[in-house]
Amino acid sequence: MPHRVTFIPGDGTGPELAKATQRVLEATGVEFDWDFQDAGIDVYEEEGNALPERTLDSIRERGLAIKGPTTTPVGSGHRSINVALRKEFDLYSCVRPCKAYEGVRTRFPETDLVIVRENTEDLYAGIEFEKGSPEMDKLRGFLADELDSPVREDAGVSIKPISVFGSERIVESAFQYAEENGRKKVTAAHKANIMKFSDGLFLEVAREVAERHPDIEFEDRIIDNLCNQLVSRPEEYEVIVLPNLYGDIVSDLGAGLIGGLGLAPGANIGTEGAIFEATHGSAPKYKGQNRVNPTALMLSGVLMLRHVGETEAADRLENGLAEVIRKGDKVTYDLKPSRDDPSAVGTSEFADAVIEEMGS
Ligand code: NAD
Protein backbone atom coordinates (compact mmCIF):
# COMPACT_ATOMS: atom_id res chain seq x y z
CA MET A 1 0.00 0.00 0.00
CA PRO A 2 1.45 3.41 -0.90
CA HIS A 3 1.78 5.93 1.93
CA ARG A 4 -0.89 8.61 1.62
CA VAL A 5 0.80 11.94 2.25
CA THR A 6 -0.30 15.57 1.83
CA PHE A 7 2.50 17.47 0.08
CA ILE A 8 2.51 21.25 0.58
CA PRO A 9 5.21 22.80 -1.64
CA GLY A 10 4.78 26.20 0.05
CA ASP A 11 6.01 29.47 -1.48
CA GLY A 12 9.27 31.32 -2.17
CA THR A 13 11.92 28.63 -2.72
CA GLY A 14 9.48 26.03 -1.31
CA PRO A 15 8.25 24.57 -4.65
CA GLU A 16 11.78 23.91 -5.98
CA LEU A 17 12.85 22.34 -2.67
CA ALA A 18 9.66 20.27 -2.67
CA LYS A 19 10.23 18.98 -6.21
CA ALA A 20 13.81 17.92 -5.37
CA THR A 21 12.61 16.22 -2.18
CA GLN A 22 9.75 14.44 -3.92
CA ARG A 23 12.23 13.03 -6.44
CA VAL A 24 14.66 11.63 -3.84
CA LEU A 25 11.81 10.19 -1.75
CA GLU A 26 10.43 8.40 -4.79
CA ALA A 27 13.93 7.18 -5.72
CA THR A 28 14.05 5.21 -2.45
CA GLY A 29 11.50 2.84 -4.03
CA VAL A 30 8.94 3.50 -1.29
CA GLU A 31 5.52 4.13 -2.82
CA PHE A 32 3.67 7.35 -2.07
CA ASP A 33 0.22 8.56 -2.94
CA TRP A 34 0.84 12.33 -2.85
CA ASP A 35 -1.94 14.85 -2.48
CA PHE A 36 -0.45 18.22 -3.48
CA GLN A 37 -2.07 21.13 -1.65
CA ASP A 38 -1.63 24.90 -1.47
CA ALA A 39 -0.53 27.04 1.43
CA GLY A 40 1.37 30.31 1.58
CA ILE A 41 1.54 33.74 0.13
CA ASP A 42 0.71 32.74 -3.48
CA VAL A 43 -2.64 31.15 -2.62
CA TYR A 44 -3.28 34.06 -0.22
CA GLU A 45 -2.90 36.52 -3.10
CA GLU A 46 -5.19 34.44 -5.33
CA GLU A 47 -7.89 33.46 -2.84
CA GLY A 48 -7.43 35.66 0.24
CA ASN A 49 -6.68 32.59 2.38
CA ALA A 50 -3.13 31.38 3.01
CA LEU A 51 -4.29 28.03 4.40
CA PRO A 52 -7.36 26.84 2.45
CA GLU A 53 -9.81 24.44 4.03
CA ARG A 54 -9.07 21.83 1.32
CA THR A 55 -5.45 21.68 2.54
CA LEU A 56 -6.58 21.14 6.13
CA ASP A 57 -9.07 18.46 4.97
CA SER A 58 -6.32 16.63 3.14
CA ILE A 59 -4.10 16.54 6.26
CA ARG A 60 -7.07 15.57 8.43
CA GLU A 61 -7.76 12.62 6.18
CA ARG A 62 -4.14 11.43 5.88
CA GLY A 63 -2.66 12.46 9.23
CA LEU A 64 0.67 12.86 7.46
CA ALA A 65 2.15 15.80 5.56
CA ILE A 66 5.45 17.13 4.27
CA LYS A 67 5.66 20.87 3.82
CA GLY A 68 7.97 23.34 2.09
CA PRO A 69 8.50 26.68 3.79
CA THR A 70 5.89 29.44 3.66
CA THR A 71 6.32 33.19 4.02
CA THR A 72 4.77 35.04 6.94
CA PRO A 73 4.48 38.74 6.10
CA VAL A 74 5.71 41.02 8.89
CA GLY A 75 3.17 43.52 10.23
CA SER A 76 0.34 42.96 7.73
CA GLY A 77 -1.25 40.12 5.73
CA HIS A 78 -1.97 36.60 6.92
CA ARG A 79 -0.93 35.00 10.20
CA SER A 80 1.71 32.28 10.36
CA ILE A 81 0.58 29.09 8.62
CA ASN A 82 2.88 27.06 10.81
CA VAL A 83 1.30 28.37 13.99
CA ALA A 84 -2.17 27.67 12.51
CA LEU A 85 -1.18 24.09 11.58
CA ARG A 86 0.29 23.46 15.02
CA LYS A 87 -2.94 24.59 16.63
CA GLU A 88 -5.25 22.79 14.20
CA PHE A 89 -3.54 19.41 14.54
CA ASP A 90 -2.26 19.85 18.11
CA LEU A 91 1.31 19.34 16.88
CA TYR A 92 2.77 19.73 20.34
CA SER A 93 6.22 18.30 19.71
CA CYS A 94 8.79 19.76 17.33
CA VAL A 95 11.73 17.42 16.87
CA ARG A 96 14.84 18.88 15.25
CA PRO A 97 17.89 16.65 14.88
CA CYS A 98 21.15 18.61 14.59
CA LYS A 99 23.85 16.35 13.21
CA ALA A 100 27.05 17.61 11.62
CA TYR A 101 27.67 15.48 8.52
CA GLU A 102 31.24 14.99 7.42
CA GLY A 103 32.19 17.60 4.83
CA VAL A 104 30.13 20.52 6.14
CA ARG A 105 31.90 23.66 7.25
CA THR A 106 31.43 23.79 11.01
CA ARG A 107 33.51 24.49 14.06
CA PHE A 108 31.64 21.68 15.82
CA PRO A 109 31.98 18.54 13.68
CA GLU A 110 31.17 16.27 16.62
CA THR A 111 27.64 17.68 17.07
CA ASP A 112 24.90 15.05 17.03
CA LEU A 113 22.01 16.16 19.20
CA VAL A 114 18.23 16.35 18.97
CA ILE A 115 16.14 19.30 20.06
CA VAL A 116 12.60 18.56 21.26
CA ARG A 117 10.67 21.82 21.44
CA GLU A 118 7.24 22.23 23.01
CA ASN A 119 5.07 23.75 20.32
CA THR A 120 1.79 24.96 21.83
CA GLU A 121 2.35 26.90 25.07
CA ASP A 122 4.67 29.53 26.52
CA LEU A 123 4.91 33.02 25.02
CA TYR A 124 3.52 31.60 21.75
CA ALA A 125 0.08 31.05 23.29
CA GLY A 126 -0.92 34.40 21.79
CA ILE A 127 -2.15 36.01 25.01
CA GLU A 128 -0.97 39.57 24.54
CA PHE A 129 -1.96 42.97 25.86
CA GLU A 130 -1.24 45.96 23.66
CA LYS A 131 0.23 49.11 25.18
CA GLY A 132 -2.52 51.65 25.89
CA SER A 133 -5.41 49.25 25.12
CA PRO A 134 -8.43 49.05 27.49
CA GLU A 135 -7.46 45.41 28.25
CA MET A 136 -3.94 46.49 29.13
CA ASP A 137 -5.30 49.22 31.41
CA LYS A 138 -7.45 46.63 33.15
CA LEU A 139 -4.50 44.29 33.55
CA ARG A 140 -2.32 47.10 34.92
CA GLY A 141 -5.02 47.94 37.43
CA PHE A 142 -5.24 44.31 38.54
CA LEU A 143 -1.47 43.94 38.83
CA ALA A 144 -1.11 47.15 40.83
CA ASP A 145 -4.16 46.72 43.10
CA GLU A 146 -4.27 42.97 43.68
CA LEU A 147 -0.64 41.94 43.39
CA ASP A 148 1.19 45.12 44.28
CA SER A 149 3.15 44.68 41.02
CA PRO A 150 2.79 47.89 39.03
CA VAL A 151 3.90 47.96 35.40
CA ARG A 152 4.63 51.13 33.47
CA GLU A 153 1.83 52.86 31.60
CA ASP A 154 3.80 52.59 28.35
CA ALA A 155 4.26 48.80 28.60
CA GLY A 156 2.79 45.95 26.55
CA VAL A 157 2.50 42.49 28.08
CA SER A 158 2.76 38.92 26.74
CA ILE A 159 1.67 36.07 28.98
CA LYS A 160 3.65 32.86 29.35
CA PRO A 161 1.44 29.90 30.30
CA ILE A 162 3.19 26.58 30.97
CA SER A 163 1.02 23.71 32.18
CA VAL A 164 1.61 20.33 33.82
CA PHE A 165 -0.26 18.73 30.89
CA GLY A 166 1.88 20.47 28.24
CA SER A 167 5.16 19.87 30.07
CA GLU A 168 4.45 16.23 30.83
CA ARG A 169 3.62 15.27 27.25
CA ILE A 170 6.62 17.06 25.74
CA VAL A 171 9.11 15.64 28.25
CA GLU A 172 7.56 12.18 27.90
CA SER A 173 7.94 12.42 24.11
CA ALA A 174 11.61 13.41 24.54
CA PHE A 175 12.26 10.32 26.68
CA GLN A 176 10.38 8.13 24.21
CA TYR A 177 12.47 9.56 21.38
CA ALA A 178 15.63 8.78 23.37
CA GLU A 179 14.50 5.20 24.02
CA GLU A 180 13.46 4.55 20.43
CA ASN A 181 16.62 6.05 18.93
CA GLY A 182 19.30 4.64 21.19
CA ARG A 183 20.03 7.90 22.98
CA LYS A 184 21.34 7.74 26.53
CA LYS A 185 20.55 11.15 28.01
CA VAL A 186 17.82 13.82 28.12
CA THR A 187 18.60 17.40 29.19
CA ALA A 188 15.77 19.77 30.18
CA ALA A 189 16.46 23.47 29.67
CA HIS A 190 14.72 26.22 31.63
CA LYS A 191 15.07 29.46 33.56
CA ALA A 192 13.46 28.10 36.72
CA ASN A 193 15.65 30.26 38.95
CA ILE A 194 13.82 33.37 37.68
CA MET A 195 10.41 32.15 36.43
CA LYS A 196 9.48 29.81 39.24
CA PHE A 197 5.82 29.26 38.36
CA SER A 198 6.26 28.61 34.63
CA ASP A 199 9.79 27.29 34.02
CA GLY A 200 9.89 26.01 37.59
CA LEU A 201 6.79 23.94 36.90
CA PHE A 202 8.32 22.66 33.65
CA LEU A 203 11.44 21.52 35.53
CA GLU A 204 9.47 19.89 38.34
CA VAL A 205 7.37 17.92 35.85
CA ALA A 206 10.50 16.99 33.86
CA ARG A 207 12.05 15.51 37.02
CA GLU A 208 8.91 13.47 37.67
CA VAL A 209 8.80 12.15 34.11
CA ALA A 210 12.53 11.28 34.33
CA GLU A 211 11.82 9.01 37.29
CA ARG A 212 9.63 6.88 35.02
CA HIS A 213 12.61 6.34 32.68
CA PRO A 214 15.45 5.10 34.90
CA ASP A 215 17.45 3.74 31.96
CA ILE A 216 17.90 7.19 30.45
CA GLU A 217 20.14 9.68 32.22
CA PHE A 218 18.47 13.00 33.06
CA GLU A 219 19.97 16.40 33.77
CA ASP A 220 18.79 20.00 33.60
CA ARG A 221 20.48 23.20 32.48
CA ILE A 222 19.60 26.85 32.89
CA ILE A 223 19.03 28.09 29.36
CA ASP A 224 21.83 30.69 29.28
CA ASN A 225 24.32 28.13 30.57
CA LEU A 226 23.06 25.63 27.98
CA CYS A 227 23.72 28.14 25.16
CA ASN A 228 27.22 28.72 26.46
CA GLN A 229 27.92 24.99 26.66
CA LEU A 230 26.42 24.26 23.24
CA VAL A 231 28.93 26.55 21.59
CA SER A 232 31.83 25.04 23.54
CA ARG A 233 31.06 21.31 23.92
CA PRO A 234 27.95 20.32 21.96
CA GLU A 235 29.12 16.68 21.91
CA GLU A 236 28.03 16.40 25.56
CA TYR A 237 24.35 16.71 24.59
CA GLU A 238 22.03 14.09 23.14
CA VAL A 239 18.33 14.99 23.48
CA ILE A 240 17.44 18.47 24.75
CA VAL A 241 13.83 19.21 25.71
CA LEU A 242 12.72 22.83 26.00
CA PRO A 243 9.66 25.05 26.36
CA ASN A 244 8.55 26.80 23.18
CA LEU A 245 10.55 30.04 23.06
CA TYR A 246 13.89 28.59 24.19
CA GLY A 247 13.28 25.70 21.78
CA ASP A 248 12.77 28.12 18.90
CA ILE A 249 16.02 29.96 19.60
CA VAL A 250 18.12 26.89 20.41
CA SER A 251 16.88 25.23 17.16
CA ASP A 252 18.52 27.97 15.11
CA LEU A 253 21.60 27.77 17.30
CA GLY A 254 21.65 24.02 16.59
CA ALA A 255 21.36 24.69 12.84
CA GLY A 256 24.37 27.00 13.15
CA LEU A 257 26.35 24.30 14.94
CA ILE A 258 25.89 21.83 12.10
CA GLY A 259 26.73 24.13 9.20
CA GLY A 260 23.66 26.25 8.51
CA LEU A 261 19.93 26.44 8.03
CA GLY A 262 20.06 24.55 4.75
CA LEU A 263 20.90 21.38 6.72
CA ALA A 264 18.43 21.39 9.62
CA PRO A 265 15.30 19.20 9.33
CA GLY A 266 12.23 19.08 11.53
CA ALA A 267 9.16 17.08 12.46
CA ASN A 268 6.02 18.46 14.09
CA ILE A 269 4.26 15.60 15.79
CA GLY A 270 0.97 15.65 17.65
CA THR A 271 -2.21 13.90 18.56
CA GLU A 272 -3.93 14.63 15.23
CA GLY A 273 -1.09 14.03 12.80
CA ALA A 274 2.53 14.70 11.87
CA ILE A 275 3.94 17.37 9.56
CA PHE A 276 7.55 17.29 8.40
CA GLU A 277 9.36 20.46 7.38
CA ALA A 278 12.76 22.15 7.41
CA THR A 279 13.76 24.59 10.16
CA HIS A 280 14.51 27.33 7.62
CA GLY A 281 12.07 29.73 5.97
CA SER A 282 11.11 30.46 2.36
CA ALA A 283 14.37 32.34 1.52
CA PRO A 284 12.33 34.47 -0.97
CA LYS A 285 15.36 36.27 -2.39
CA TYR A 286 16.41 32.99 -4.05
CA LYS A 287 12.94 32.11 -5.37
CA GLY A 288 12.98 30.42 -8.78
CA GLN A 289 16.79 30.44 -9.02
CA ASN A 290 17.37 26.70 -8.49
CA ARG A 291 20.01 27.70 -5.94
CA VAL A 292 19.12 26.79 -2.35
CA ASN A 293 20.06 23.65 -0.51
CA PRO A 294 17.32 20.99 -0.35
CA THR A 295 19.10 18.93 2.35
CA ALA A 296 16.92 20.18 5.23
CA LEU A 297 13.67 19.24 3.49
CA MET A 298 15.15 15.95 2.27
CA LEU A 299 16.25 15.11 5.83
CA SER A 300 12.72 16.01 6.96
CA GLY A 301 11.66 13.37 4.44
CA VAL A 302 14.06 10.95 6.13
CA LEU A 303 12.30 11.69 9.44
CA MET A 304 8.95 11.04 7.74
CA LEU A 305 10.19 7.70 6.38
CA ARG A 306 11.28 6.67 9.87
CA HIS A 307 7.94 7.85 11.29
CA VAL A 308 6.04 5.50 8.95
CA GLY A 309 8.43 2.59 9.63
CA GLU A 310 10.40 2.74 6.34
CA THR A 311 13.68 2.48 8.22
CA GLU A 312 15.76 0.90 5.48
CA ALA A 313 14.70 3.53 2.91
CA ALA A 314 15.34 6.26 5.48
CA ASP A 315 18.89 4.97 6.08
CA ARG A 316 19.54 4.75 2.34
CA LEU A 317 18.39 8.31 1.70
CA GLU A 318 20.31 9.67 4.69
CA ASN A 319 23.47 7.82 3.61
CA GLY A 320 23.06 9.09 0.04
CA LEU A 321 22.79 12.66 1.30
CA ALA A 322 25.72 12.20 3.67
CA GLU A 323 27.89 10.88 0.81
CA VAL A 324 27.06 13.80 -1.51
CA ILE A 325 27.89 16.23 1.29
CA ARG A 326 31.08 14.36 2.22
CA LYS A 327 32.35 14.42 -1.36
CA GLY A 328 31.52 18.15 -1.51
CA ASP A 329 31.56 18.15 -5.27
CA LYS A 330 27.91 18.35 -6.40
CA VAL A 331 26.65 20.53 -3.56
CA THR A 332 24.84 23.89 -3.40
CA TYR A 333 26.62 27.22 -2.83
CA ASP A 334 26.14 27.22 0.95
CA LEU A 335 28.20 24.03 1.29
CA LYS A 336 31.11 25.34 -0.79
CA PRO A 337 34.13 27.03 0.85
CA SER A 338 33.18 30.31 -0.83
CA ARG A 339 29.62 31.48 -1.45
CA ASP A 340 30.33 32.34 -5.09
CA ASP A 341 32.19 29.16 -5.93
CA PRO A 342 31.41 28.53 -9.62
CA SER A 343 31.41 24.76 -9.07
CA ALA A 344 28.28 24.91 -6.85
CA VAL A 345 25.34 23.02 -8.32
CA GLY A 346 21.64 23.91 -8.19
CA THR A 347 18.83 22.45 -6.08
CA SER A 348 17.77 20.06 -8.82
CA GLU A 349 21.31 18.84 -9.64
CA PHE A 350 21.88 18.22 -5.93
CA ALA A 351 18.84 15.91 -6.02
CA ASP A 352 20.31 14.14 -9.09
CA ALA A 353 23.55 13.56 -7.16
CA VAL A 354 21.67 12.10 -4.18
CA ILE A 355 19.67 9.78 -6.44
CA GLU A 356 22.86 8.65 -8.18
CA GLU A 357 24.54 8.04 -4.82
CA MET A 358 21.58 5.97 -3.56
CA GLY A 359 21.82 3.82 -6.68
CA SER A 360 25.54 3.11 -6.31
P1 NAD B 1 15.01 32.03 5.87
O2 NAD B 1 15.31 30.78 6.61
O3 NAD B 1 13.98 31.93 4.81
O4 NAD B 1 16.33 32.55 5.16
C5 NAD B 1 17.38 33.23 5.81
C6 NAD B 1 18.65 33.01 5.00
O7 NAD B 1 19.15 31.71 5.31
C8 NAD B 1 18.45 33.02 3.50
O9 NAD B 1 18.50 34.28 2.95
C10 NAD B 1 19.59 32.15 3.05
O11 NAD B 1 20.78 32.89 3.02
C12 NAD B 1 19.68 31.11 4.16
N13 NAD B 1 18.93 29.91 3.85
C14 NAD B 1 17.70 29.55 4.30
N15 NAD B 1 17.34 28.38 3.80
C16 NAD B 1 18.35 27.97 3.00
C17 NAD B 1 18.57 26.83 2.18
N18 NAD B 1 17.67 25.85 2.09
N19 NAD B 1 19.73 26.75 1.48
C20 NAD B 1 20.64 27.71 1.56
N21 NAD B 1 20.50 28.82 2.32
C22 NAD B 1 19.37 28.94 3.03
O23 NAD B 1 14.62 33.13 6.96
P24 NAD B 1 13.93 34.55 6.78
O25 NAD B 1 14.51 35.27 5.61
O26 NAD B 1 14.00 35.15 8.14
O27 NAD B 1 12.42 34.20 6.50
C28 NAD B 1 11.82 34.25 5.21
C29 NAD B 1 10.35 33.92 5.37
O30 NAD B 1 10.19 32.55 5.79
C31 NAD B 1 9.64 34.77 6.43
O32 NAD B 1 8.41 35.18 5.91
C33 NAD B 1 9.45 33.81 7.61
O34 NAD B 1 8.33 34.14 8.35
C35 NAD B 1 9.30 32.49 6.90
N36 NAD B 1 9.63 31.31 7.71
C37 NAD B 1 8.93 30.19 7.41
C38 NAD B 1 9.23 29.02 8.08
C39 NAD B 1 8.44 27.79 7.72
O40 NAD B 1 7.64 27.82 6.82
N41 NAD B 1 8.65 26.69 8.41
C42 NAD B 1 10.26 28.98 9.04
C43 NAD B 1 10.99 30.14 9.29
C44 NAD B 1 10.67 31.30 8.60
Tell me the per-residue pLDDT of 231-241, one tens digit each, with 9 for 90 and over. Answer: 999 999 999 99
pLDDT of residue 102: 96
Cα angle for residues 143, 145, 149 (degrees, 5° grid): 40
pLDDT reported for residue 8: 98
Q: Which atom of ligand 1 is nearest to the CA of 10?
A: 40
Ligand 1 centroid to residue 191 C-alpha, Å: 28
90 classed as catalytic: no
pLDDT in tens, 65-95: 999 999 987 766 667 898 889 989 999 999 9
Question: Which residue in 199, 248, 330, 334 is the catalytic one?
Answer: 248
**What pTM does this model have?**
0.92
The tens digit of pLDDT for each residue in 7-64 reads 999 999 999 999 999 999 999 999 999 999 999 999 999 999 999 999 999 999 999 9
Per the residue annotation, which of 44, 92, 101, 124 is the catalytic one? Answer: 124
> Which residue among 66, 104, 280, 332 has the greatest number of ligand 1 atoms within 8 angstroms of its CB, and so is best to mutate?
280
Distance 286 CA to ligand 1 centre (A): 10
How far is the C-alpha of 155 from the C-alpha of 143, rounded, in Å? Answer: 13
Cβ of 81: how many Cβ atoms within 10 Å? 24
Which region among 37-51, 65-79, 143-157, 197-211 has the lowest average model confidence (pLDDT)?
65-79
- Quickly count: other Cβ atoms within 10 Å of residue 32's Cβ: 18
Q: Which atom of ligand 1 is nearest to the CA of 283?
A: 3
154 flagged as catalytic: no
Scanning the chain, the segments in alpha helix (DSSP H) are 14-27, 41-47, 53-62, 81-88, 134-147, 164-180, 199-211, 223-230, 244-257, 295-307, 311-327, 347-359
Q: How many Å lie between the centroid of ligand 1 and the Cα of residue 261?
A: 8
Cα 319 to averaged position of ligand 1 atoms, centre (Å): 25
Spell out which residues line ligand 1, taking CB within 6 angstroms: 69-72, 82, 261-262, 277, 280-285, 292-293, 296, 334
pLDDT at 339: 84
Residues 6+ apart with CB under 8 A from 140: 150, 151, 153, 155
Q: Got the DSSP string for 30-48?
A: --EEEEE---SHHHHHHHS
| Higher per-residue confidence, 168 vs 86 | 168
Specify the pLDDT at position 77.
Answer: 65
Which atom of ligand 1 is nearest to 68's Cα?
40
SS3 of residue 344 by DSSP? coil
Residue nearest ligand 1's atom 37 by CA? 281
- Decide the pairing of beta strands 64-67 and 274-277: parallel
Lowest-confidence segment of 72-86, 93-107, 259-273 by average pLDDT: 72-86
Cβ 50 vs Cβ 85: under 8 Å: no
